[in-house]
Chain A
Amino acid sequence: EAGVVQSPRYKIIEKKQPVAFWCNPISGHNTLYWYLQNLGQGPELLIRYENEEAVDDSQLPKDRFSAERLKGVDSTLKIQPAELGDSAVYLCASSSLAGGPGNEQFFGPGTRLTVL
């Protein structure tokens, strides 16, 4: 079974440029998560989707960040314009259930973004 796929794995851009990250979850997983992981920190949730609906985007900086999951499968996270402080690893995860306290999330390898 293929895991969570993310691309690109690495991205270097100039500040004020736009950037987009793509995620394809495990087949059949209806819940998809985007996390931000700063250096030396644990991941923090940016947005959670159940199918195509964003059910928790309270931590997403909506002035510059946007996300979509149009057909309830793969998803794109965009930053426009990027700032120096956006340099981090962006993780995508998926899970098979809409909720439940013991639910396991499966993580992709992440996209490492460097903003110069």
Chain B
Amino acid sequence: AQSVTQLDSHVSVSEGTPVLLRCNYSSSYSPSLFWYVQHPNKGLQLLLKYTSAATLVKGINGFEAEFKKSETSFHLTKPSAHMSDAAEYFCVVSSTSGTYKYIFGTGTRLKVLA
């Protein structure tokens, strides 16, 4: 069975400083992994995805994530935070057989301080 753990429920950073949102996964097979962002009163938006190609994945708005099989991690990073990055971020693992069901983490709320 697949599962995903987001290690921080809240992260605060100052504008212009790096962002690190941590995600660990569990999967019996090579997983597909995603990061989604949810702004207040808006739908979830895909930031990036990993599907067994390059382990360093670049996404929208300057975000990237690195798949590390040995550490079962898929942490999300951004070199410099903007105020507009304040939102809820979800790490997602997709099952690799059958229904390819999405399993969401509990989310990390990112706060960006001026």
Contact = CB atoms under 8 A, between A and B. Distances in A.
Contacts of A56: 99, 101
Given A48-B99, A100-B100, A101-B96, A42 B43 contact: no
Given A40-B107, A42-B105, A42-B106, A104 B100 contact: no
B46 interface: yes
Nearest to B41: A109
Given A3-B43, A42-B90, A101 B51 contact: yes
Contacts, number: 60
Range class of the B interface residue count: 20 to 34
A45 B99 CA distance: 12
Interface of A is mostly: loop
A99 B106 contact: no
B47 to A, nearest CB: 11
B106 A40 contact: yes
A108 B32 contact: no
Interface string B28-59: 00011010100001111110010100000000
A103 B100 contact: yes
A69 B79 CA distance: 44
Interface string A1-34: 0011000010000000000000000000000000
A102 B32 contact: yes
Given A42-B90, A42-B104, A42-B106, A102 B99 contact: no
A99 B45 CA distance: 19
Most-contacted residue by chain B among A93, A106, A107 (CB, 10 A): A107
